[in-house]
Amino acid sequence: MIDLAAETERLLAFAEGSRHPEGGFAWLRSDGTPDLDRPRELWITTRMTHVFALGELLGWPGAAELVAHGLDSLRHDFRDPVHGGWFAQVGGSTDKRAYEHVFVVLAAASAGDDALLGEALEVLDTRFWDQSAGALVDVWNRDWTDLEAYRGANANMHGVEAMLATGDPLWRERAVRVTQRLVVDNHPRLNEHFDEQWRPLPDYNVTEPAHPFRPYGATIGHWFEWARLAFTLDRSLFEADARRLFMAGVQDGWDGSGFVYTVDWDGRPVVADRLHWVLCEAIGAAAVLGEDALQAEWWDLAQERFIDPADGSWQHELDPSNRPSSTVWDGKPDVYHALQATLIPRVPLRDSLAASLR
């Protein structure tokens, strides 16, 4: 089996190249060079700050300075000093998105920055948390006057990850409510997209099925991710659902040589390209659920097809014949999923990876 500690270090070394000279972290190309022509993305800076916070807990040289670099950018470059919250991009979109805001929470929690964490949770509580629905709303405009008539599972799933990382009983209780709505009450294949009344939108983005954040149909990788998070959140409540989702991901997602990205509502592949993060989440779920034989098989696939020994990191996308592709993603934007996959099998199961490492 692959040396997971060595792979963690290799990913951290690759990730160092993402440091943006103007603050935060840049989108990395396939060869690991930063694409400084792209706007700085909040989701990349938050996730890479989280990654380097884990690196600091592992004792990785230079990680602490990179964490400070990321936190400084969150306090200044991305933060809206007028209306509060964080911009989706620097010099680009001024939307305020739940997806990115929960990663501000995760980055602050992993880094142990209580002031930033408190501010981020205040925004999450007052702007995104819908108490009546027991879930997060999705996208506001800059001054919080216009809320998009869309509700999404993706932001809420990562919201559960962030809520767990806070260590706060109130947010844990909210994570249970989110999981109840979007896992237990969301059969048979998990709907990803809803209207403002939380009614499913099964045909959402049917003309844009390869969307990186809101694809049409059911997203296989999220079944694995939900399985891991639900099991971690409360085994007594959600173990059966976690195992159901895990096995469904194997049944519908595995086509004999890799995992497809999405399936339709009958379980037929829609986008058959292989996304690296789907395999990473399958590995993480297998580790948590004790599916050791499958985990070993999937690490073999990762080593054979995804891990890039020449340019570093993992290929972010392969086509159905397992050749590098860019239908959904181009380059290697971040190492969040891959790095976590190397850690989950070898640390104690806690509410967050930072808690496990501490």
CATH label of the domain that carries residue 163 = 1.50.10.10
pLDDT of residue 233: 98
Mean per-residue pLDDT for 151-163? 98
pLDDT of residue 152: 98
Does residue 93 or residue 106 have the better pLDDT? 106
Number of domain units in the chain: 1
Q: In what order do the strands lie in the sheet with 218-219?
A: 218-219, 262-263, 269-271
Q: How far apart are CA 134 and CA 136, in angstroms?
A: 7
Residues belonging to the active site: 222, 337
Q: Are 103 and 149 in contact (CB under 8 A)?
A: no
Query: At residue 149, does pLDDT exceed 80?
Result: yes
Helix extents (H) in the chain: 4-15, 42-57, 63-76, 98-111, 114-123, 153-166, 169-179, 220-233, 235-253, 276-289, 292-301, 336-343, 353-357
pLDDT of residue 187: 85
pLDDT of residue 304: 97
pLDDT of residue 340: 98
pLDDT of residue 219: 98
Question: Token pair for residue 326?
Answer: 């860019």
pLDDT of residue 42: 98
Phi, psi of 221 (to 5 degrees): -60, -30
pLDDT of residue 334: 94
Long-range contacts of 19-26 (CB under 8 A, 24+ apart): 19/66, 19/69, 20/73, 22/77, 22/90, 23/69, 23/72, 23/73, 23/76, 23/77, 23/90, 24/69, 24/70, 24/73, 24/74, 24/77, 24/78, 24/90, 25/49, 25/70, 25/73, 25/334
Residue located via tokens 């993706």: 154
Mean per-residue pLDDT for 3-11? 98
pLDDT tens column, 49-97? 999 999 999 999 999 999 999 999 999 999 999 999 999 999 999 999 9
What is the model's pTM?
Answer: 0.98
DSSP 204: T
Question: Token pair for residue 34?
Answer: 């930063």
Mean per-residue pLDDT for 291-313? 97
The three-class DSSP label of residue 263 is strand
Cβ atoms within 10 Å, residue 269: 18
Query: At residue 1, does pLDDT exceed 80?
Result: no
Where in the sequence is the domain holding 157, given as residue range(s)? Answer: 4-357
Cβ partners under 8 Å of residue 177, min gap 6: 134, 135
Mean per-residue pLDDT for 2-14? 97
pLDDT tens column, 17-42? 999 999 999 999 999 999 999 999 99
Cβ atoms within 10 Å, residue 182: 27
How would you classify residue 347: left for phi > 0, otherwise alpha for psi between -120 and 50, otherwise beta?
beta
pLDDT of residue 188: 87
pLDDT of residue 141: 98
For 55-120, give the DSSP string. HHHTT-TTHHHHHHHHHHHHHHTSB-TTT-SB-SEESS---EEHHHHHHHHHHHHHHT-HHHHHHH
Q: How confident is the model at residue 341 (pLDDT cuts 50, 70, 90)?
A: very high
pLDDT of residue 330: 93
